Amino acid sequence: MRQLATEYLKRRQDELGCTIDPEDYPAELQRVKAYLALHNVYGVDLNATAVEFAEITLWLDTMAKGLDAPWFGLRLRRGNSLIGARRAVYREDEVTSKEWLRTPPTDVPLEDLTHRIEADDSGPTQAAGHIPHWLLPGAGWGATADSKQAKQLAPDRVAAVKKWGKQMRAKPTKAQVRKLVDIGYQAEELWTMALRRLMVAEQQTRREIALWGREATTKKPTVTREQVEESLADSNGAYRRLRRVMDAWCALWFWPLTGEPVAPPTWEEWIDACQMIIGSQTQIRLKNTARRYDDAAQQQLAPADQWEALAEQENWAISAGGADSVDNALERHPWLRVCEKVAKEQGFFHWQLDFAPVFGRGGFDLQVGNPPWVRPDSDIDALLAEGDPWWELVDKPSEAEKRERRTTTLLLPGIRELTTASDSETVAVRSFVSDPTMYPELDGLRPDLYRCFMCTTWSHQSSRGTVGLIHPETHLTDEKAGHLRELTYPRLRRHWQFVNELQLFSEIDHHVTYGVHIYGSHRAPSFLNVSNLYTPATVIGSLRHDGSGEAPGFKFEGHWDDRPHGKRIQTVTDETLATWRDILDPDLQTPRQTRMLYTVNRDVAETLRQLSRAPRLASLHLRFSQGWNETTDFQKEYFVKSWGQPDSWDDVILQGPHLHVATPFFKSPNRTMKHNQDWSEVDLETLPPGAIPVTAYKPAGDRARYDADYTHWDGDPARDHYRLAWRAMAANTGGERSYPPSFRLVLRIPTGCFVSAEPLTGDSPQLVGSVQVCCWTLPCVQPRRAGSTKAS
pTM score, two decimals?
Answer: 0.84
> For residue range 649-691, what is the model confidence (pLDDT) as tens digits?
999 999 989 988 888 899 999 999 888 889 999 999 899 988 9
> For residue range 625-644, what is the model confidence (pLDDT) as tens digits?
888 998 899 999 999 999 99
Q: Inter-axis angle of helices 267-278 and 238-251, to 10 degrees?
A: 160
Classify the phi-psi angles of 252: left when phi > 0, otherwise alpha if psi is within -120 to 50, otherwise beta: alpha
CA-nearest of 702, 708, 691, 699 to 650 is 699
Please state, rounded to an integer, the average pLDDT across all residues of the chain. 88
CA distances from 194 to 76, 108, 303, 357 (A): 18, 16, 18, 10
594 has a pLDDT exceeding 60: yes
CA distance 487 to 592: 8
445 has a pLDDT exceeding 50: yes
- Beta carbons within 8 Å of 161's beta carbon, 6+ residues apart: 142, 144, 145, 255, 257, 264
Contact 410, 420 (CB under 8 A): no
Confidence of residue 287 (pLDDT cuts 50, 70, 90): low
Q: How far is CA 725 from the centre of its chain?
A: 33
Beta-strand relationship, 88-90 and 131-132? antiparallel
**Which of these ranges, 17-26, 637-646, 758-767, has the smallest mean pLDDT?**
758-767
Contact 342, 251 (CB under 8 A): yes
Contact 175, 286 (CB under 8 A): no
73 has a pLDDT exceeding 80: yes
615 has a pLDDT exceeding 60: yes
Instruction: Report the 10 Å Cβ neighbour count for 508.
Output: 13
181 has a pLDDT exceeding 70: yes
What is the longest distance spanned by two Cα atoms in the chain? 101
Alpha helices, DSSP H, located in 558-715: 574-584, 602-611, 632-635, 703-708
pLDDT at residue 662 in the model: 80
Instruction: Report the 10 Å Cβ neighbour count for 74.
Output: 18
Element (H, E) at 512: none
pLDDT at residue 217 in the model: 66
> For residue range 342-397, what is the model confidence (pLDDT) as tens digits?
999 999 999 999 999 999 999 999 999 999 999 999 999 999 999 999 999 998 88
For residues 170-188, give the mean pLDDT.
96
> H/E/C letters for each residue in 150-194?
HHHHCHHHHHHHHHHHHHHCCCCCHHHHHHHHHHHHHHHHHHHHH
SS3 570: strand
CA distance 59 to 62: 5
DSSP state of 515: E
Contact 539, 562 (CB under 8 A): no
The CA radius of gyration of the chain, in Å to the nearest whole number, is 31
pLDDT at residue 613 in the model: 84
CA distances from 493 to 461, 522, 529 (A): 14, 10, 9
pLDDT at residue 750 in the model: 54
Burial per residue of 318-353, b for 16 or more beta-carbon CB atoms within 10 angstroms, e otherwise: bebbebbebeebbeebebbebbeebbeebbbbbbbb
pLDDT at residue 728 in the model: 67
CA-nearest of 175, 194, 167 to 278 is 194
262 has a pLDDT exceeding 60: yes
**Which of these ranges, 50-64, 203-217, 545-559, has the smallest mean pLDDT?**
203-217
Element (H, E) at 402: helix 399-409
Return the amino acid letter for 48: A
> For residue range 448-475, what is the model confidence (pLDDT) as tens digits?
999 999 999 999 999 999 999 999 999 9
Contact 14, 8 (CB under 8 A): no
323 has a pLDDT exceeding 90: yes
For residues 94-99, give the mean pLDDT.
96
CA distance 177 to 285: 18
766 has a pLDDT exceeding 50: no
Q: Inter-axis angle of helices 267-278 and 155-168, to 10 degrees?
A: 70
The residues that bridge with 32 in the sheet, in sequence order, are: none
- Beta carbons within 8 Å of 473's beta carbon, 6+ residues apart: 497, 513, 514, 515, 517, 596
pLDDT at residue 66 in the model: 78
Instruction: Report the 10 Å Cβ neighbour count for 486.
Output: 17
Beta-strand relationship, 513-519 and 653-654? unpaired
298 has a pLDDT exceeding 70: no
